[in-house]
Amino acid sequence: MTTQEWKFTTKDIAAKPDLFLSGHRACAGCAPATVLRLIMKATRGPTIVTESTGCMEVVSSIYPYTSWAVPWLHTAFETAASNASGIEAALKIMKKKGRIKQEHVDVIAFAGDGGTYDIGIQALSGAVERGHDFLFVLYDNEAYMNTGIQRSGGTPHGAATTTSPAGSVIPGKLEYKKPIADIMVAHDMPYVATASPYYWKDLLTKVRKGLEVEGPAFLHVFAPCPRGWRSNPAKSIEYSKLAVETCVFPVWEAVSDEYQLSTPSKLVALAPQKKKPVADYLQGQGRFRHMFKPQGKKLLEEVQRITDERWQRLLMKCEMAQKP
């Protein structure tokens, strides 16, 4: 089965049965739940899912109920990639020994930002180095939401969380968001991509590409969390769009280390005047509220500066940087 055979049209998507089922206990406006549902729509055949401890794990598997219409395994917080390694190794040898019927079984590992940037990065790096054939999906809601909004390596600069509160001396998180997808590209892996649920066709295509490559694939998906971001639950998908339009979260893919902007970000690169200021995205999110007070002006400028710098670096990698 290839990407071309299935067009990812709205009709196709609607017709395909859900594999991440309703009835789970995610909050209103939870983008990660939407992301998981969409991703499972892009699977191509028999699939086993493993998931690290986190929001999506706890909302989807409360015994004796489950939201998973595929075989699913959770073991611990830092083990999404090591679970995938064990599952893939078992499938490979059992196939060889004629103990499983399926011609091929895809393995998808889901982890949040904590399970990827922080506690899970060792297992992820090891699994990718060993070249297991699996797709690792990071659903990035930019903090430890499941435990009550603590900062992670994926929390952006300036964001207020319960362990990086915006105080009178320290204005939220001082450190910068770790460039996790670039770190994965540096592993010389076959496929790395970033995606946003607003651009759902782009997301689904990337999922399918990640499954189709031989070897490990890494997909970084932007996933707003209204509870943690102190944002309007009705606006999660809007923020997913604004993050791309402001270049806070550009969408791109790197096939065998070759960076390429995906269409939504390419349009911004081709028409720089259309690039929106970061304030358009930050405004309305309670975690950035302090940036819009008089004393937050500097921080806001700093976030704009970092965003522009990172965007320029990405353009250079994609060979789309404007000549000075």
Partner 1 sequence: MQSVAKQKMMALAGDEAVAYAAKQSDVDVVAAYPITPQTIIVEKFSEYVANGEVETEFVCVESEHSAMAASLSASVTGARAFTATASAGLALMHEMLFVTSGCRAPVVMAVANRALSAPINIHGDHSDSMAQRDSGWIQLYAENAQEAYDSIIQAFRIAENLDVLLPVMVGLDGFTLSHTLENVETLLDEGVKEFIGTRQFPKVLTHEGKTVPFRLDPANPMTVGPLALQNYYFEFKRQQEEAMENALAVIQQVNSEYAKISGRSYGNGLLEAYRLEDAEVVAICLGSTAGTMKTVVDALRQDGVKAGLLRLRTFRPLPVEEIQSALAGVKAVAVMDRCLSFGGNGGPVFHEVRHLLYEAASRPYVVNYIYGLGGRDTSPTELRSIYENLQRIIQTQRVEKPIQYLGLRD
Q: Which of 31, 87, 193, 318 binds partner 1 (CB under 8 A)?
A: 87
57 lines the binding site for partner 1 (CB under 8 A): yes
Which CB atom, from 48 or from 247, has the smaller least distance to partner 1? 48
CB 193 within 8 A of CB 220: yes
Q: Does 23 bind partner 1 (CB under 8 A)?
A: no
Which residue's CB is nearer to partner 1, number 119 or number 269? 119
Q: Which amino acid is at 300?
A: L
98 part of the interface to partner 1, by CB under 8 A: no
Closer Cβ to partner 1, 184 or 315, answer by number:
184
Instruction: Decide if residue 118 touches partner 1 (CB under 8 A).
Output: no
Distance (Å, rounded) from C-alpha 116 to C-alpha 122? 9
Using rule CB under 8 A, residue 9 touches partner 1:
no
Cα dihedral: 115, 136, 239, 40 (round 10): -120
Asked if 69 interacts with partner 1 (CB under 8 A), we say: yes
Give me the residue label for tokens 């180095």. Answer: 129
Query: What tokens were used for 77?
Result: 């917080």
> Is residue 245 helix, strand or coil?
helix
Measured at the CA of 244, the angle between CA 272 and CA 20, to 5 degrees, comes to 160
Among 33, 48, 184, 251, binds partner 1 (CB under 8 A): 48
Q: Which of 13, 27, 73, 183 binds partner 1 (CB under 8 A)?
A: 73
CB of 288 to partner 1, least distance (A): 32
Owner of token pair 């950035």 = 288
When binding is defined by CB under 8 A, the residue of 6, 16, 46, 213 that contacts partner 1 is: 46
The span from the CA of 176 to the CA of 246, in Å, is 17
Helix (H, G, I), strand (E, B) or coil at 65: coil
Task: Tally Cβ neighbours within 10 Å of residue 148.
Answer: 12
Q: Write each residue from 188 to 227 as x if it is in contact with partner 1 (CB under 8 A), else as -, in one continuous string.
A: ----------------------------------------
Q: Would you count residue 76 as binding partner 1 (CB under 8 A)?
A: yes
Q: Does 126 bind partner 1 (CB under 8 A)?
A: yes
The rounded Cα 143 to chain-centroid distance in angstroms is 12
* Count of residues in contact with partner 1, rule CB under 8 A: 50
Question: Is there binding between residue 82 and partner 1 (CB under 8 A)?
Answer: yes
Total residue count of the chain as it appears in this document: 324
Q: What is the DSSP string of 184-231?
A: HHTTT-SEEEEE-TTSHHHHHHHHHHHHHSSS-EEEEEE---HHHHT-
Minimum CB distance to partner 1 smaller for 101 or for 323: 101
Residue type, 150: Q
What are the residues binding partner 1 (CB under 8 A)? 46-48, 50, 57-58, 61-66, 68-76, 78-79, 81-87, 89-94, 96-97, 99-102, 105, 122-123, 125-127, 129-130
